[in-house]
Structure 1
Amino acid sequence: PLSAQCVINKQVVVAAGVFAPGHLGELTRIVPFEMVDAALESARAAQVRVRELPSRVVVYLLLAAGLFPDIGYSGVWAKLCSGLRGLAVAAPGSSALTQARRRIGAAPLRELFALLAGPAAGAARWRGLLVCAIDGTSMFVPDTAANLSIYHRQTGGNGDSGYPMLRLVAVVACGTRTVIDAVFGTYGIGERTYAPTLFRCLREGMLLLADRGFGYADQVSAIAATKADLLIRAKNNLALPALEYLPDGSWLTSMGSVVVRVIDAEITITPHRGPRRCERYRLVTTLVDYRRYRAIDLVELYHQRWQIETSYLELKSTILDGRVLRARTPAGITQEVYALLCTYQALRIAIADATATGPAATPLHANFTIALNTARDQVVHAAAVITSGAIDLVGDIGRAVLHDLLPTRRPRQSPRVVKRAISKHRAKGTIDRTNYPSIGITINLRKPPI
């Protein structure tokens, strides 16, 4: 009957007192109170006295802002408090929130990211090696005088970019798309200059994939010095004279102080329609045992490098939806980027935990958009902030992801072009931007030079 009713009673358990708004919904399990407090203590940013906006609560406000990039900090605060009706929580204005963010600074977020960073438990390996990728990307920051003193616009033939830009360079675990380490700064400094800072995260048992921007002797020598292995694409015109020819068609050469193996391959893609596309790949690797590491397998493995591009897509297009960052000062930008990296990492860890519970799913089959939207709902409802009893590794986020897994990606080709030109009136040529499914991909190893 129309008069029938259903009553749902929901129990919300959060921290007591002024700490109640300090949560990240279900993701609080991954970024617990103790971890945030440890980061604050390490950065010497814990409050001397308990305020209406304790430092821990401000950190969670910054993390939650990464889930809601389309609203201001006052709106994010309202999201954190919307599931706490009945509790006496603070109602700070925008000025108070700004002062609180400035009070704690960027150091606690940097420390928190260091605690969260890593490949995630159970990360997939190839021949016992943790496969990672390094690459850079750019992000837009607000066009203020303060930001322009550090960050610069991108210049081009069609004019300068509308907003100043920062450059972010990261190392990502290809099997889980979790961030192992990251560094960022002015766009005027190139990826090769930032990269050596990231080599601190490399260890024996890791295999680093990189594109042609890193295929130089100094980079190869620096990576090899960490005891990690590498698989890097080199420029086709780079002189790599043979020291020894191997039976599989590859050869040994030296790059700096390192002896590497060179694999020269030609990849032919046959699309469903249109002409075939051929491209030459010249790879250099420290995996010199041609019997254990077949050349054809390494060429196929190199395709995993694109996982870092997908990570940047999730960060910039799915989370930020192409938006400019919020902060109007360089210190605020540093704080915001570290908070965004922490939130992204927490989502990726939640996905990895969920998919690890069953053999049928992998983190690469997870729908990141579903995880993001479910996490947003959990923040609004203040759900699963503090749990009792057995730890639920899957959670509502994981169950939503597992319920709607992505199918295995089909072979396809896509032109690599600038999707958003500096000038909206002049696109980059008359390029067909359609993604065409491929009916065949052939890899042929080229003969070594004599």
Structure 2
Amino acid sequence: MFAPGHLGELTRIVPFDMVDAALTETGAVQQRMRKIPARVVVYLLLAAALFEDCGYLAVWRKLTAGLEAIPVARITGTALWGARARLGVRPMRALFDLLRGPATAIRTVGARFKGLLTVAIDGTYLDVPDSPPHRARLGKSTNQYATSGYPQICLTALVACGTRAVLDAAFGSRSSGETVYGKRLMRSLHDGMIVLLDRGFSGNTFLAAVAATEAAFLARVSAARRPPVLARFDDGSHLSRFGGIEVRIIECEITITTSQGRRTGLYRLATNLLDHHRYPASDLVSLYHERWEVEMCQPQCTHICGLAA
């Protein structure tokens, strides 16, 4: 049994002292006693990510349902929303930084490729409530046929493929695009990593930014893009150049089998791992499959936005 006021596994994973450290670091500790202290608001938001179909008041009732022997202040939904607004964004960002920990600590079997931590970057679009502040800041996407029903944000995340741990995330108006937010994730890339990228992140400028962090990359590029062949290697790859960086190009056919049948397509991959003996093309093609781990992690990233937005 857990003690009164304990939130079970939630307070084991996110202990009180960690929450208090995030509040202290960001100057968010309440200055006077309130019915809903800042620490309680943090746990309310964490629980809201678990009960995503519930409003704040319903989540509050779930959190306090087991406290029948302890007097609990009567709280309204408006009071909870006000407490959320007072807390602000910074404490949740600080708590995320404490929880994610250093990427170098990941030791899970299969999390590394030839000693390199395998990570991936991907982006997605998420609906947010159709409120006047959201409409004013985010707007709504339109085309020649209609306007979207809800404002949207663009979320870009850096995920460790072996564990699906979210190492970093950035989001904002979808008008900026995923590569803009992707560049913010450069702060979390470093030597000893290999980052897997889809075609949307394969532009020369973005790849140069990744290379500048000293991380390796393996990116899918458009099959219509035909970079120059500077040298050929015996593993079937060839040396080329994207702007100011040298890359190896790997071409392969991949067959995808679904309930609708089989489809074979040409994949062209680019990497700044130039040693074809240490990193043969066949191994890199197999590695690229790990990129789909980040797509499986997108529902988890949705919770991050719910906490920090």
What is the TM-score with the length of structure 2 in the denominator?
A: 0.92
Partner of 1:307: 293
Q: Where in structure 2 are the equivalents of 1:94-243 lying within 5 Å?
A: 94-118=77-101, 119=103, 121-123=106-108, 124-243=111-230
Alpha-carbon distance in 2 for matches of 1:152, 1:116: 32
Distance 1:277 1:337, change over 3 A: closer
Partner of 2:278: 292
Which of these residues, 59, 83, 98, is aligned with residue 66 of structure 2?
83
Q: Contact (CA 8 Å) 1:63, 1:340: kept in 2 or not?
A: no
RMSD of aligned Cα (Å):
2.0
Q: Contact (CA 8 Å) 1:152, 1:187: kept in 2 or not?
A: no
- Shift, 1:338, TM fit: 5.7
- Shift, 1:68, TM fit: 1.0
Question: How many corresponding residue pairs?
Answer: 305
Q: Contact (CA 8 Å) 2:141, 2:148: kept in 1 or not?
A: yes
- Shift, 1:25, TM fit: 2.4
Distance 1:35 1:179, change over 3 A: same
Alpha-carbon distance in 2 for matches of 1:273, 1:79: 43
Q: SS where residue 206 of structure 2 aligns?
A: helix
Which of these residues, 248, 251, 264, is aligned with residue 264 of structure 1?
251
Alpha-carbon distance in 1 for matches of 2:220, 2:186: 18
- Shift, 1:200, TM fit: 0.6
Q: Contact (CA 8 Å) 2:166, 2:301: kept in 1 or not?
A: no
Alpha-carbon distance in 2 for matches of 1:273, 1:60: 44
Identity of aligned residues (%): 48
Partner of 2:267: 281
| 2:51 counterpart of 1:68 | yes
| 2:238 counterpart of 1:251 | yes
Q: Tell me the amino acid that sits aligned with residue 222 of structure 1.
A: A
Q: Where in structure 2 are the equivalents of 1:355-394 lying within 5 Å?
A: none
Alpha-carbon distance in 1 for matches of 2:83, 2:300: 29
Where do 5+ consecutive residues of structure 1 fail to align?
1-10, 15-19, 320-335, 342-450
Where do 5+ consecutive residues of structure 2 fail to align?
none
Alpha-carbon distance in 2 for matches of 1:220, 1:69: 36
Q: Tell me the amino acid that sits aligned with residue 13 of structure 1.
A: A
Partner of 1:25: 8
Alpha-carbon distance in 2 for matches of 1:181, 1:98: 27
- Shift, 1:272, TM fit: 8.1
Partner of 2:19: 36
Which of these residues, 30, 35, 42, is aligned with residue 52 of structure 1?
35
Partner of 2:3: 13
Cα deviation code 1:260-289 (max 9, x no counterpart): 111011223466884x42201000011111
- Shift, 1:154, TM fit: 2.6
Q: Contact (CA 8 Å) 2:28, 2:91: kept in 1 or not?
A: yes
Q: SS where residue 220 of structure 2 aligns?
A: strand
- Shift, 1:238, TM fit: 1.8
Q: Contact (CA 8 Å) 1:231, 1:283: kept in 2 or not?
A: yes
Q: Tell me the amino acid that sits aligned with residue 122 of structure 1.
A: R
Alpha-carbon distance in 2 for matches of 1:26, 1:340: 21
- Shift, 1:69, TM fit: 1.6
Q: SS where residue 240 of structure 1 aligns?
A: coil
Alpha-carbon distance in 2 for matches of 1:273, 1:112: 44
Distance 1:199 1:24, change over 3 A: farther
Which structure's CA Rg is the greater one?
Answer: 1
As a proportion of its length, which structure holds more strand?
2
Q: SS where residue 266 of structure 1 aligns?
A: strand
Cα deviation code 1:270-317 (max 9, x no counterpart): 66884x42201000011111111110111111011111111114555x
Q: Tell me the amino acid that sits aligned with residue 23 of structure 2.
A: L
Alpha-carbon distance in 2 for matches of 1:235, 1:95: 50
Distance 1:267 1:337, change over 3 A: closer
Q: SS where residue 74 of structure 1 aligns?
A: helix
Q: Tell me the amino acid that sits aligned with residue 295 of structure 2.
A: E
Q: Contact (CA 8 Å) 1:113, 1:338: kept in 2 or not?
A: no
- Shift, 1:157, TM fit: 4.7
Q: Tell me the amino acid that sits aligned with residue 217 of structure 2.
A: L
Q: Contact (CA 8 Å) 1:12, 1:84: kept in 2 or not?
A: no
What is the TM-score with the length of structure 1 in the denominator?
A: 0.64
Q: Contact (CA 8 Å) 2:157, 2:301: kept in 1 or not?
A: no
